[in-house]
């Protein structure tokens, strides 16, 4: 199945994934998604490193006017990681269960059906992993 943003993450198991950041060997600057040049010192191809799998939900919304790849409603959010990076993604959960500040885990979700289906990283409430 086609992977969205395939260079940004690795699948670990059926439901587990880990995000990849770039970390510059020269100046230590970290970025998600990983960049081709360090934005701080322009060193080329900074090293890719795995991020923590658990993050904190910064904010979220349920979308009713979908992007063309997806069908509404779906939930999106920003997740803050201990590496000091904030990552956008879709969240698989009951909307009513979500709270700002809760722990979420990096997971794998499929979107769409048949030949159109794609895989991407997503976030799920940590206790339900």
Partner 1 sequence: MARPVYVTGIGMTPFRKKYDITLSELAQEAVVRALRDAGFDRNRVEAVYSGSAWGGPLLGQRILRDLGMTGVPLVNIENACSSGSTALHQGWAAVAQGMYDAVLVIGSEKLSRFGSGALPLEDDDHEVRLGQVMPAVYAMRAQRYFHEYGGTPADLAQVAVKNRRHAGLNENAQFRDPITVEEVLASRPVADPLTLLMCCPKADGAAALLITSERYRNGRSVEVRTSRLTSGVFEDGIVDTTIDEITVRCAKETYESAGIGPEDVDVAEVHDAFASAEVFYYEALGFCKQGEGLNLVRSGATAIGGRIPVNPSGGLLSKGHPLGATGVAQIVEIVEQLRGEAGARQVEGAKVGLTHCTGGGIAGMDHGACTMHVLVR
| Site residues for partner 1 per CB under 8 A | 4-5, 8, 31-33, 39, 58-70, 74, 76-78, 80, 84-86, 88-90, 95, 100-101, 120
Structure letter (DSSP) for residue 15: S
Minimum CB distance to partner 1 smaller for 42 or for 62: 62
CA distance 92 to 88: 13
Q: Cα(91)–Cα(62) distance, rounded to whole angstroms?
A: 9
Considering the complex, state which of residue 36 and residue 64 has its C-beta at the smaller distance from partner 1: 64
Taking the complex as a whole, the smallest distance from the CB of residue 98 to partner 1 amounts, in Å, to 10
Cβ 12 to partner 1 shortest distance, Å: 19
Among residues 12 and 85, whose Cβ is nearest to partner 1?
Answer: 85
We find the least distance from the C-beta atom of residue 116 to partner 1, in angstroms, to be 14
Q: How many C-beta atoms lie closer than 10 Å to residue 13's C-beta?
A: 8
For residue 13, the minimal CB distance to partner 1 (Å) is 21
Nearest-5° Cα angle at 96, 127 to 56: 45
Q: Which is nearer to partner 1, 90 or 107 (CB)?
A: 90
| DSSP H or E stretch at residue 52 | none
Locus of tokens 């700002």 = 100
């Amino acid at each position: 199945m086609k992977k969205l943003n395939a260079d940004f993450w690795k699948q670990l198991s059926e439901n587990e994934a880990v995000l990849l950041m770039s970390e510059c060997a020269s100046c230590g600057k970290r970025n998600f998604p990983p960049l081709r040049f360090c934005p701080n010192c322009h060193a080329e191809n900074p090293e890719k490193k795995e991020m923590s799998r658990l993050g904190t939900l910064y904010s979220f919304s349920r979308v009713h006017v979908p992007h063309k790849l997806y069908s509404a409603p779906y939930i999106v959010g920003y997740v803050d990681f201990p590496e000091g990076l904030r990552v956008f993604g879709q969240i698989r959960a009951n909307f009513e269960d979500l709270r700002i500040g809760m722990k979420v885990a990096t997971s794998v979700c499929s979107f769409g059906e048949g030949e159109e289906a794609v895989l991407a990283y997503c976030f799920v409430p940590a206790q339900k992993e």
